[in-house]
Structure formats: structure tokens, C-alpha cells
Amino acid sequence: MISSLVLPPIDLRTIGPALVLTITGVIVMLLDLLPPRDRKEHLAFVGLAGVVVSLVVALRMWGVDARAYRGMVAMDGFALFFDLIIGYSTGLVLLLSMDYIRRQRMESGEFHILVIFAAVGMVLMASGTDLIVIFLALETMSLALYVLAGFFRSRIEAGEASMK
């Protein structure tokens, strides 16, 4: 007697904003390998486009209460509100960092990638209802932020901040 395998339904709408940001982070990571090596402004624009798409996905879900993955992730008003705040903040960071990174002569794609993956962790943390999901999201966010704290290697404060 062979029992059939029952797969739970997969609803990607509930993790839509986080999924878009993750795909954007991977695209920016792949584009970082391509030339030009000295100018990386285009990566910030690609990241910004991904953040805007994530905001559109979040806005389209407004008013929908959905749970997925056996109740581990919820897309409700609370999660959508924080998705919008995180999306706007990430967009502002990407916009304002373009000129700052150029002035500091630290142009590299890793900065934009880390900002996007920190936003992924924040979005997942806002929509997580299970302790494991919240913990994984917290670790995703914190690892990216630890590296960002020590990103400017020439500053003594940056090295101290990353060690703490």
C-alpha cells in the first residue's frame, strides 16, 4: 500500500515583497561581475528598480489578509505597513548612497547588495509569525548590517563597529 505524497499549497503572494527583493539582490550580485569595474551607479539603479517593484507588490496586496506555509508567514496590514516603510527607507538609502560612496572613493557593488539583503531580512521579519522565521530573518538582516558597519575599512570607527 503506497500512500501518495501530499504537498501543502504554496502561495508566493505572501512573501511577494521579500521574493522580489531577493531576486533583485541576486541580479545586482550578478551584474556586479560585469564591467565597468570603476563605476557602480547602475547597480544602485537596478536595486532601486527592484525596491519600487517590491513596493508595488506590497501595495497591490493592501487589504488582503493571507497566511502561508502553515501559518509561518502572514501578509496582513501590519506586515504591509512595515513593508512600505522598509521599502521607502531602502530606496532612500540607495539613492542617497550613490553620491556619498563616489565621494568616499569606495565604489563597489557589495554595498548595494548588502543593503538589499538587509531589507530582505527586515521584510521577512515583519511578516513572520513563527519564531524560526523571525530568527532567520533577524540573522539575514543582522549579518548584512554587520558587514555594512565595517564597510569603510579606512576608518577606525568602522572597524570598531564591525567588531562589536
- In angstroms, the CA 35 to CA 29 distance is 13
Specify burial of residue 126 (Cβ count, 10 A radius: 0-12, 13-18, 19+).
Answer: buried
Residue 18 cell numbers, joined: 521579500
pLDDT for res 110:
87
- In angstroms, the CA 46 to CA 102 distance is 17
In the chain, where are the structural domains located?
16-163
DSSP type of residue 73: E
Vertex 157: Cα angle to 108 and 93 (nearest 5): 45
**Amino acid identity, residue 75?**
M
Per-position pLDDT tens, the chain of length 164: 677 887 777 788 889 999 999 999 999 999 988 887 777 788 889 999 999 999 999 999 988 888 888 889 999 999 999 999 999 999 999 999 888 888 877 777 788 999 999 999 999 999 999 999 999 999 999 999 888 887 776 666 766 766 76
Question: How many residues in the chain?
Answer: 164
pLDDT for res 100:
83
